[in-house]
Structure 1
Amino acid sequence: MVVGGIAAIVVILAVAAVLLFLNLPDANAFNARVERVFVENDLTTQAEIKLLEILAQSGTAFSDTLSSYRVVIFVLLVFATALLVAAMAFLVMLITLNRRMGQIERKGIEVNSLLIAREQNTVYLNNFEFKLTEAAIETLSVLAEARMDDEVLSGAEIEAVISGRDASDCDEAAGATRIKRLRDTLGNQMVSELLVKNIARRGYMLAIDKSVIRMV
């Protein structure tokens, strides 16, 4: 379909170029008309021949100008074809990218490995290194441990695990703030929003397979 669309654009412009060049006047038409006038009227005097030379020079200038116009028109048509093909390719690329982004949003990030190095405050996500703050590492570690136990933690429970207090004594907003800071630290909005899922009325969890999680 894409190749067909690009081919159609090229064919349309090629047909337009052919029709345009066919309808342009002949570059030597003026000289031919002048010569015909002098031949038919038998103009042979010195003044008439001089006039013929002047008209011939004008015809030559007209011919050169028309030839340059042909080159300019050809270059513009080639440029227009290249622009249209590039625009078509760019549009297809955008559509493909939007579809892939939609698939990612629906399915989440495909995580093959998640390695949390607490001592280095570093996370390796699919071999991409993320340097996090100590607080962000703590939050991510709690979520990872909960995911390995198939648990969903509320904001209060996250705060309780990190602070060592009872969940009933912790504020839901405190855990939500930790999640927000974790997402901000990860930086990439797509990664952070899809990696850390918020389940309505239940809490937070990592949207990855627990078998890929490793903690050192």
Structure 2
Amino acid sequence: MSGILSEDITALSSLDRSALSSRDSTLLRALDRDTWLSDKDCIQQPFTTLPNDCLFQILMIENISQSKMSQLDDIDNKLDPAKQRVDRLQNSRVVIHEVNMDNDDSVTKEKYGSKDVFKLTLQDKSGKFFYAINYNIIPWINVCMIGSKLIIKSGTSFNRGVFIVKDTDCSFLGGTNRIWNENRESKLYNYLDSKLKRDCNNNVNGRKRKN
């Protein structure tokens, strides 16, 4: 079953369900559960709770408490370290390059602060899209790759297409989709840049309408 962690769950074929481990059984139960809302109902559904555990794959991770311009600057510096200014090097926070998953201390040295909020773009096996916003620190956010699998547990708060999750509401299974993660920083840069340009255009058009 570990192969599921590197696969697109919207394109899975028949699965071998023999000799399952406890972890495999948990994964398959969550995979077999259908998310309970259609795309239209998902957006319109006011506050409720998830009725059963569901498996999702993570398509995007965005720090929405940090400005897009600042994130673009950070990514630009990663892609071209020569652009890194001395004062940014002196004032930068801890960046984790390696994480020992058996040592909680290494995971809790988050790059982000306790008040940072992340938006995860999620997809279920039917292809429907959902979002998740963290209520508290999610310790695995620094090791999460695109395509990682996540079980959101029954009872998790849900409002108009968005899960409001605490760390205890999730079981992070890991995994990665190699193709999806190729040139990941460049893809994230293009994604944030397009959103920033869209926001700027909306602001300009909004001012024009007011005038």
TM-score (norm 2): 0.23
Q: Which has the higher helix share?
A: 1
Higher relative contact order (CA 8 A, sep 6+): 2
